[in-house]
């Protein structure tokens, strides 16, 4: 048996059995080829669109395996895909014939309650972090789905239930350990490799493989006030403007979002919403439940909800509350998002029209509020770029049948362009982006003036663009 692998220059190479045996003796974690049991499981990612076949998967057990995998890629000039949680919408983390550096077995998390810091291995999920940090009444701001990988989320920004109080996930990064393209592990923080550290906070997977993250954590939970009211979608024309006006005066403790979606018939949800098109108004208060209760009371009072699930909830349950809507590998997904300086009636008009006529029940139109701590960082403070936007509208195409790929992707692009045309449209959030190749306008919209600096840092740390299966920034 031989293993076929893509080269960086587009050519092909092969590894013979004796070469593989030699590698197997070197790596601590298993090497998985097409012939090995577990290959299909190891190459599976969240987005069911990507049925790709890497040439070789290195299931890394620690930083040493990552170092050797990057050195192997360098010696043989291999194309590399880096996978952690496997949630990337664009499917960059799995690629045909690539060397897949898979960190999903590196999920250790250690909390230091005295310092309020959390050290996280590169393949951990948000659920892993919540488990270990909530035991000490601490939280690292993450995303809204507990199965998402910390790595991709952090490197691209990180929006969730706490961002208005404590900032993006990347804003809470204190340090990272990174295997750069030359196969060496370096530490990046405010005082070590500071340019690399700047780039890791929003610049994506361009600069190397992160084997460990260190985060600042904050006292949150274990019980928080959760607001979640489900209204009939037909009432959205009245509720959306009322929600928008309410969010304008919210304290930073509250992070809120709306979603136009369809609810499945599942025992996890009240019967009143089974198979119904709904407008979900959701919010979390980052303080005590006593303070949160009055602050979130309006969530269920914008009209008459079909169901109001609001109440005190464990923070970990809130973090897991949407997981059931995204069973791994079962949905095909293509998302695009626009950041907006305000949510004018022109935007709400598009949100409504599109949200009420979605191509598939699992497709949603999702609008989180930004502002608060996100906005308090300057555009050049991290690679993430401009923070002035007040909201995001994300058109999240999710469907099940491959025959509907073209039509649904077309619908998502069309809706995205409609939002993009309103005068308050500002940029885009790449973590909510489904395009494998970024066009230059999208890259510019995401990084703005930070792009030149990112390109220089890319040149310093990855001059050959070895790490190119990502929201790619060319070295310059
Ligand atoms: C169902 C769902 C819900 C989501 N919810 C949110 C949300 O609430 N908030 C939000 O901000 N985003 C959200 N996202 C988007 C998510 O943040 C991005 O898709 C992110 O890239 C996922 O990271 P991952 O590690 O799971 O993905 P992967 O697919 O494993 O990786 C994605 C990319 O990140 C890079 N990467 C991954 N690991 C490493 C590493 N260790 N070192 C260097 N580079 C690496 C690589 O370029 C890789 O291609 C969601 C996505 C999905 C599918």
Asked if residue 420 and residue 299 are part of one domain, the reply reads yes
What end-to-end distance do the CA atoms of the chain give, in Å?
A: 40
**The domain containing residue 91 runs over which residues?**
3-102
327-372: pLDDT as tens digits: 999 999 999 999 999 999 999 999 999 999 999 999 999 999 999 9
Q: In what helix (H) or strand (E) does residue 290 lie, and over which residues does it extend?
A: helix 289-296
| CATH number for the domain that contains residue 87 | 3.30.43.10
Residue 296 binned pLDDT confidence (cut-offs 50, 70, 90): very high
CA 437 – ligand 1 centroid, Å: 16
Asked if residue 277 and residue 375 are part of one domain, the reply reads yes
CA dihedral 333, 336, 339, 342 (to 10 degrees): -90
> Of residues 2 and 349, which shows the higher confidence score?
349
Per-residue confidence (pLDDT) for residue 77, from 0 to 100: 97
Q: On the CB side of 73, how many CA atoms lie within 13 Å of its CA?
A: 37
Instruction: Judge whether 253 and 286 are in contact, CB under 8 Å.
Output: yes
Asked if residue 138 and residue 77 are part of one domain, the reply reads no
Q: Please say if the pLDDT value at position 1 is more than 80.
A: no
Asked if residue 327 and residue 228 are part of one domain, the reply reads yes
Ligand 1: residue whose CA is nearest its atom 45: 205
Whether residue 260 lies inside any domain: the answer is: yes
Whether residue 126 lies inside any domain: the answer is: yes
Identify each DSSP E strand in 28-159 by its residue range.
Answer: 31-32, 56-59, 80-83, 99-102, 109-112, 117-121, 138-139
By most ligand atoms within 8 Å of CB, the mutation choice from 46, 73, 147, 152 for ligand 1 is: 152
Whether residue 457 lies inside any domain: the answer is: no
Q: If you compute the radius of gyration of the chain from its CA atoms, what whole number of angstroms results?
A: 22
CA 295 – ligand 1 centroid, Å: 31
Whether residue 446 lies inside any domain: the answer is: no
Q: Please say if the pLDDT value at position 106 is more than 80.
A: yes
Mean pLDDT for 261-267 is 98
Q: DSSP character for 170?
A: G
Whether residue 443 lies inside any domain: the answer is: no
Domain boundary (83, 102, 121) is at: 102
Asked if residue 87 and residue 190 are part of one domain, the reply reads no
Whether residue 371 lies inside any domain: the answer is: yes
132-157: pLDDT as tens digits: 999 999 999 999 999 999 999 999 99
| CATH number for the domain that contains residue 399 | 3.40.462.20
Other CB atoms within a 10 A radius of the CB of residue 290 amount to 10
By most ligand atoms within 8 Å of CB, the mutation choice from 54, 87, 172 for ligand 1 is: 87
Q: Which has the closest alpha carbon to 58: 20, 11, 7, 10?
A: 20
Per-residue confidence (pLDDT) for residue 160, from 0 to 100: 98
Ligand 1 atom nearest to 153, measured from its CA: 17
Asked if residue 227 and residue 172 are part of one domain, the reply reads no
Whether residue 153 lies inside any domain: the answer is: yes
Asked if residue 390 and residue 258 are part of one domain, the reply reads yes
Ligand 1: residue whose CA is nearest its atom 37: 152
By most ligand atoms within 8 Å of CB, the mutation choice from 57, 99, 144, 148 for ligand 1 is: 148
By most ligand atoms within 8 Å of CB, the mutation choice from 67, 153, 177, 208 for ligand 1 is: 153
Dump the DSSP string for 94-108: --TT-EEEE-TT---
Q: Provide the number of structural domains found in the chain.
A: 3
Buried b (16+ CB within 10 A) or exposed e, 78-98: bbbbbbbbbbbbbbbbbbebb
Asked if residue 28 and residue 7 are part of one domain, the reply reads yes
Q: DSSP character for 447?
A: H
Averaged pLDDT score across all residues of the chain: 97
Asked if residue 378 and residue 295 are part of one domain, the reply reads yes
200-223: pLDDT as tens digits: 999 999 999 999 999 999 999 999
Rounded Cα–Cα distance for residues 248 and 411 (Å) = 30
| CATH number for the domain that contains residue 187 | 3.30.465.10
Asked if residue 143 and residue 266 are part of one domain, the reply reads no
451-476: pLDDT as tens digits: 999 999 999 999 999 999 999 999 99
Asked if residue 166 and residue 60 are part of one domain, the reply reads no
Asked if residue 165 and residue 71 are part of one domain, the reply reads no
Rounded Cα–Cα distance for residues 316 and 129 (Å) = 10
Whether residue 64 lies inside any domain: the answer is: yes
Q: On the CB side of 442, how many CA atoms lie within 13 Å of its CA?
A: 20
Instruction: Judge whether 233 and 260 are in contact, CB under 8 Å.
Output: yes
Domain boundary (52, 82, 102) is at: 102
Residue 63 binned pLDDT confidence (cut-offs 50, 70, 90): very high
Ligand 1: residue whose CA is nearest its atom 7: 143
Enumerate the H helices of 157-235 as residue ranges: 163-166, 194-200
CA 323 – ligand 1 centroid, Å: 15
Domain boundary (220, 255, 287) is at: 220
CA 311 – ligand 1 centroid, Å: 30
* Ligand 1 site residues, Cβ closer than 6 angstroms: 45-46, 82-89, 92-93, 103, 122, 143-145, 148-149, 151-153, 155-160, 204-205, 209-210, 326, 431, 469-470
């Amino acid at each position: 048996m031989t293993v076929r692998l893509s080269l960086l220059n587009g050519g092909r190479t092969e590894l013979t059995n004796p070469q593989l045996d030699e590698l197997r003796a070197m790596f601590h974690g298993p090497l998985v080829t097409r012939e090995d049991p577990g290959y299909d499981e190891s190459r599976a990612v969240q987005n069911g669109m990507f049925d790709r076949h890497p040439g070789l998967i290195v299931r890394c057990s620690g930083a040493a395996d990552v170092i050797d995998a990057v050195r192997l890629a360098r010696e043989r000039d291999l194309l590399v895909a880096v996978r952690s949680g496997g949630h990337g919408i664009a499917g960059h983390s799995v690629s045909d014939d690539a060397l897949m550096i898979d960190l999903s077995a590196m999920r250790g998390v250690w909390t230091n309650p005295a310092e309020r810091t959390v050290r996280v291995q590169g393949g951990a999920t948000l659920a892993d972090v919540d488990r270990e940090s909530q035991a000490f009444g601490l939280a690292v701001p993450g995303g809204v789905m507990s199965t998402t990988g910390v790595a991709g989320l952090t490197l691209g920004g990180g929006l969730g239930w706490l961002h208005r109080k404590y900032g993006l996930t990347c804003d809470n990064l204190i340090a990272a350990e990174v295997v750069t393209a030359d196969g060496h592990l370096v530490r990046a923080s405010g005082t070590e490799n500071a340019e690399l550290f700047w780039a890791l906070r929003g610049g994506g997977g361009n600069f190397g493989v992160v084997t460990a993250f260190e985060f600042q954590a904050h006292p949150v939970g274990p019980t928080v006030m959760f607001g979640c009211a489900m209204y009939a979608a037909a009432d959205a024309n009245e509720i959306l403007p009322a929600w928008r006006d309410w969010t304008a005066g919210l304290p930073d403790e509250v992070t809120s979002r709306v979603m136009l979606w369809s609810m499945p018939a599942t025992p996890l949800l009240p019967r009143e919403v089974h198979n119904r098109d709904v407008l979900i108004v959701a919010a979390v208060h980052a303080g005590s439940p006593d303070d949160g209760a009055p602050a979130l009371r309006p969530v269920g009072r914008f009209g008459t909800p079909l169901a109001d699930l609001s109440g005190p909830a464990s923070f970990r349950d809130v973090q897991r509350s949407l997981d059931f809507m995204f069973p791994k590998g079962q949905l095909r997904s293509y998302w695009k998002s626009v950041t907006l300086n305000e949510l004018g009636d022109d935007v709400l008009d598009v949100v409504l029209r599109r949200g009420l006529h979605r191509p598939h029940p699992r497709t949603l139109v999702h609008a989180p509020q930004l502002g608060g701590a996100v906005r308090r960082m300057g555009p050049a403070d991290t690679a993430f770029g401009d923070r002035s936007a007040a909201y995001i509208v994300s058109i999240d195409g999710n469907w099940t049948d491959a025959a509907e790929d073209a039509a649904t992707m077309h619908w998502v692009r069309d809706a995205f362009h409609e939002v993009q045309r309103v005068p308050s449209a500002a940029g885009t959030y790449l973590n909510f982006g489904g395009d494998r190749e970024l066009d230059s306008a999208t890259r510019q919209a995401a990084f703005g003036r930070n792009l030149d600096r990112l390109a220089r840092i890319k040149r310093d740390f990855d001059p050959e663009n070895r790490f190119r299966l990502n929201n790619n920034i060319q070295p310059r």
